[in-house]
């Protein structure tokens, strides 16, 4: 089932995700719905906050990105990144490599906005998968960038927070408009709920 994607201005995007203690059918269904939603929106990653759930769960799929290659080791073995997508990360813990690079990013919660962001070139991630197994990922390139973007979401951090002040200023009128539309949408929904519960 496709879920609606939360847009900038909704406070859930600023919430830190709670650690997941139990990997059950409800969580597996949520992850499957997030993957379907991400694919339908042509996204490369989606965090639980972006579908309204502040928990430590994110899904990624960089298999369609061919111009920005990824090198990936899964549990110490070199693997073809496309072969392990979509990737589900539960309770990820991330260590950043020292080298940085700048690249262009977008975000499904900020339609039609992009910006150049400096990120670590490589990351080392420990997480759980949907079977509850511990997994270890060492990756360089686009997947490393995408994971950093998603782990930021899980901590309530957004890509605009990492833009240069000039880049953010150039988006400021778009950002204000989106924030206002989102907040009006939330008010309408609350009003509709209040009316139906009278």
* Shortest Cβ 52–Zn ion spacing (Å): 14
**Shortest distance in whole angstroms from residue 5 CB to Zn ion:** 10
CB 129 within 8 A of CB 150: no
Residue number, 62 or 107, with CB nearest to Zn ion: 107
60 and 87 Cβ atoms separated by less than 8 Å: yes
Contact 14, 76 (CB under 8 A): no
Q: What is the closest distance, in whole angstroms, from the C-beta atom of residue 28 to Zn ion in the complex? A: 22
Q: Which is nearer to Zn ion, 43 or 81 (CB)?
A: 43
Q: How far is the CB of 146 from Zn ion (least distance, A)?
A: 9
Task: Tokens for 184, please give them.
Answer: 């009006």
Tokens 């039609």 sit at which residue? Answer: 112
Residue among 72 and 107 whose Cβ is closer to Zn ion: 107
The residues annotated as belonging to the active site are 150
Give the residue from 149, 164, 99, 95 showing the smallest Cα distance to 126: 95
The rounded distance, in Å, linking the Cα atoms of 38 and 143 is: 15
Q: Would you say 11 or 132 has its CB closer to Zn ion? A: 11
Q: How many residues does this entry show for the chain?
A: 198
Alpha-carbon gap, residue 195 to 1, rounded angstroms:
27
Q: Could you give phi then psi for residue 99, rounded to 5 degrees?
A: -75, 145
Give CA–CA dist 151/135, Å, rounded.
Answer: 16
* Nearer to Zn ion (CB atom), residue 23 or residue 53: 53
Give CA–CA dist 170/104, Å, rounded: 15
Task: Find the residue with minimal CB distance to Zn ion.
Answer: 107
Give residues in contact with Zn ion (CB under 5 A).
107
**Smallest separation, CB 43 to Zn ion (Å):** 8
């Amino acid at each position: 089932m496709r879920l609606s994607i939360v847009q900038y201005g909704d406070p859930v995007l600023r919430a830190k995700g709670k650690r997941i203690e139990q990997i059950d059918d409800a969580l597996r269904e949520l992850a499957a719905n997030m993957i379907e939603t991400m694919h339908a929106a042509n996204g490369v990653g989606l965090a639980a906050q972006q579908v309204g759930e502040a928990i430590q769960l994110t899904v990624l799929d960089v298999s369609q990105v061919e111009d920005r290659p990824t090198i990936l080791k899964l549990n110490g073995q070199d693997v073809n990144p496309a072969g392990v997508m979509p990737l589900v990360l539960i309770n990820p813990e991330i260590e950043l490599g020292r080298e940085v690079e700048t690249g262009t990013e977008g975000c499904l919660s900020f339609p039609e906005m992009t910006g150049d962001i400096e990120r670590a070139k490589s990351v080392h991630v420990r997480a759980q998968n949907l079977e509850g197994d511990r997994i270890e990922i060492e990756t360089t390139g686009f997947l490393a960038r995408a994971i950093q973007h998603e782990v930021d979401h899980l901590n309530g951090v957004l890509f605009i927070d990492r833009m240069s002040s000039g880049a953010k200023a150039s988006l400021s009128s778009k950002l204000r408009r989106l924030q206002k539309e989102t907040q009006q949408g939330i008010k309408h929904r609350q009003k509709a709920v209040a009316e139906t519960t009278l």
